[in-house]
Amino acid sequence: MDALEARAQQIEESLSKAEKVTAEAEQQAEKNEEILQSARKEAQDIVAQAREAGDKLKQKLEADGKDQYDNMLSKAQEQIDAEKQKALSEIKNTVVEIALQASEKVIKRNLTDADNKKMIEETVDEFKQAN
């Protein structure tokens, strides 16, 4: 009988050890699942941060590009305006010069020496009265 009891005891111990190993394996599996879940969450967070950083970079690049475009457009408009004013000024000066030359020719043809003398005297008189 001792052999049977020893064998039963041995079987019980083996079953107890098997249950203990099974329980430890289940605990380890739960820990592994928690670690896996944590790693998945961390990976999702990293991906989300990378997307957010990419979106911010994209927005910044778009804004910088728009600013550069606006600056270039503004400078081009200023140059166009400056050139336009320069051209208008040159045209005005040319028109004035042509008008003066034409007036001078007309006056020389229409005035006699007596008219010239009279205009000079009137100008001198006006100057004297003004001073």
- pLDDT of the chain, 131 residues: tens digit per residue: 687 888 888 888 888 888 898 999 899 999 999 999 999 999 999 999 999 999 999 999 999 999 999 999 999 999 999 999 999 888 888 887 887 777 776 676 666 778 777 877 887 787 778 76
Residue 74 carries which DSSP code?
H
Residue 93 has what pLDDT? 83
Structure tokens at 75: 């400078």
The pTM of the full predicted model, rounded to 2 decimals, is 0.46
The backbone torsions φ and ψ at residue 92, rounded to the nearest 5 degrees and listed phi first, read -60, -45
Residue 109 has what pLDDT? 64
Residue 111 carries which DSSP code?
-
Q: In a 3-state reduction of DSSP, which class is residue 131?
A: coil
Contact 121, 113 (CB under 8 A): no
Residue 119 has what pLDDT? 75
Q: In a 3-state reduction of DSSP, which class is residue 1?
A: coil
